[in-house]
Every structure is written in structure tokens, then in C-alpha cells.
Amino acid sequence: MKTPLLALLGLAFLAASALAGTTVKSCNRSVSFDAPPKAAISNDVNLTEMMLVLGLADRMVGYTGISGWKTLDEEMRAGVKELKELSEKYPTREVIVGADADFFFAGWNYGMKVGGDVTPETLEPFGVKVYELTESCIHIGPKDKVSMEDMYDDLLNLGRIFAIEDTAQALVAGYKAELAAFAATVKTGDAPLRVFVYDSGEDAPFTAGRYAMPTALIEAAGGINIMDDFEKSWATVNWEAVVERDPEVIVIVNYGDVTAEQKIGFMKSNPAFAAIDAVRNDRFVVLDYVEATPGPRNIRAIKKLAAAFWPN
């Protein structure tokens, strides 16, 4: 009689576990899922790549916010060829609800705006659960300084949400091992290089502060973001602060209508920047948007930065 009883207890435990679902932390909220989503939407190229690298394309009804801002390279085009772009830029609530979505993976200033039409609160009445990109949480409350753990946590939480924890854990463990092995081969200088991130803007530069992903990438490559004390994520500063802090390397974020070459040309041709160490020594390194924002390409971004920082 013991074996059937144990079997019944095991089935009851499995049933209870399935009924309980899973709960994850999303910024300042806890989000519970009774079952894995079946009709997900992701916003932006980097968040969409997180879904793809976890093998979740078959759980998606589409993506938003890519072609209106960025172009898809061959790697991304192959990944989303079976999916529909539902909105070229930020989606409206009607777009998400109209697609019969049950899940939206986005972030603050990555598809959602504070007080905007699309937020976790506005989508909840329509049965759409939202998971927020960790890096973006600074826009709605305090968080720790950005680190690679932000990106890892997002992948692990997506693994829990979609009941593919083993896949997510293996992926993150692989990224950590790859980064550790690479770090062991890099010979840095005695002091971290001073680095400035130039995203866009001529009158005033839009850059990465303490809470934006490039700060973590730069540190992993042996540098320091000169705007590390800027208590923002992605935001605008003044050129005077850049000149005063005299970066040794300038990281160009490549996307949009203004090319990386044009941004470099602007800095090299402006007399106001002539004394900056990076400009004098022509030390620029280009990261594509999808490398500079949280996502699967962060490891290769660190390798690219390290090669530019320490060429010898």
C-alpha cells in the first residue's frame, strides 16, 4: 500500500506546484504567474534578443519598437523572421491588447513611459502581465548601481516566468564562465582608463550614467565611466563636464539616423574638444545599440571594449 500512497502524494504535490505558479520581482513589484505566458510581446531589440536566446520565439505573438529606431542585423533578422513587428516605435495599449497578448517584456524608456498609456497598471485589466527590464527600474525608484547581474537576473526571471529555469540557468552560467575566462587573459594598466559614452546630441550629449549598462561593460573591460557619479541611467549632460574630465577613450553608441562615423567626425572637428585625450589620440570605439544595452551581446561588447582599451 505504501507505493500507491507515495505516488498519490507525489501527484498531489505536482498538482499543487503547478497551481501555485511562480512569482518574480519586477522593479518594485512582485508579479505572479499561474502558468507560463503563451502570447508574449517584447519591446526593443535587446529585450527581444533575450527572448530569442532563451528559445521563446514560439511563445511570442510579435515584437515592438525596433525598426522605428534601429535596424536589424542579419542575426536579429533570422531570429524574428517568423514574428510580426506590431509597432515600429513604442506600442499603444490598443496594439498590445489587440494582439491578444498575455505578457509584455519592456522597460521604462524601453517601451513604457512613467505616467504613459502603457504601464503594468494600464495593462493589468486586460490580462497582460508585465516584466520590467531591471536596468530601467531606476526611473521609478531606487536601485543598486548597474552591474552584469542586472542582465543575468532578467534572463533568470524570464526562465522562471516561462518555466524554462534550467535553460536560463545554463545560459547565465555559460556567460559568467566565458567572461571569467576572458578576464583572466586581459592585461590592463595600473589604473582604469577614463571612458566617456557618447550616445547622441550635439548641443548637449546624451550619455550613460551610473545606472546605465555601459558603466558595467566599461568596468568589466578595465575602464571607468567618467560619469559614474551621475545619478542617472541614460540622460543628458553638458560638454563642459566631458572636457573637464578628459576621457582617454570615447565609446560611440551606434544607431539611428546619425552614424557612428558622423558622431566621431563631429567630435574630431570641433575645436572645443581638441584638448580631450581621446580626441587627440583618436581613441574611439563603437558599440551597436544592441551591445550597449542589457542583453545577450553584452559579453562580446566587453571583449570589444577591452581590445580597444588595451590593444597591446
In this prediction, residue 15 carries a pLDDT of 46
In this prediction, residue 72 carries a pLDDT of 81
Q: Which residues of the chain have pLDDT under 50?
A: 1-2, 13-19
Domain assignments of the chain as residue spans, ordered by start: 23-178, 187-309
DSSP summary character for residue 58: G
Q: Note whether 23-178 and 187-309 share their fold.
A: yes
In this prediction, residue 9 carries a pLDDT of 55
Look at strands 40-43 and 103-108 and give their pairing. Answer: parallel
In this prediction, residue 129 carries a pLDDT of 98
Q: Which of 73, 91, 27, 136 is nearest to 300 (CA)?
A: 73
In this prediction, residue 16 carries a pLDDT of 45
Q: What CATH number is given for 187-309 in this structure? A: 3.40.50.1980
Q: What CATH number is given for 23-178 in this structure? A: 3.40.50.1980
How deeply is 244 buried, as exposed, middle or buried, from its count of CB atoms within 10 A (0-12, 13-18, 19+)? exposed
Look at strands 284-288 and 103-108 and give their pairing. Answer: unpaired
The one-letter amino acid at 244: E
The one-letter amino acid at 34: D
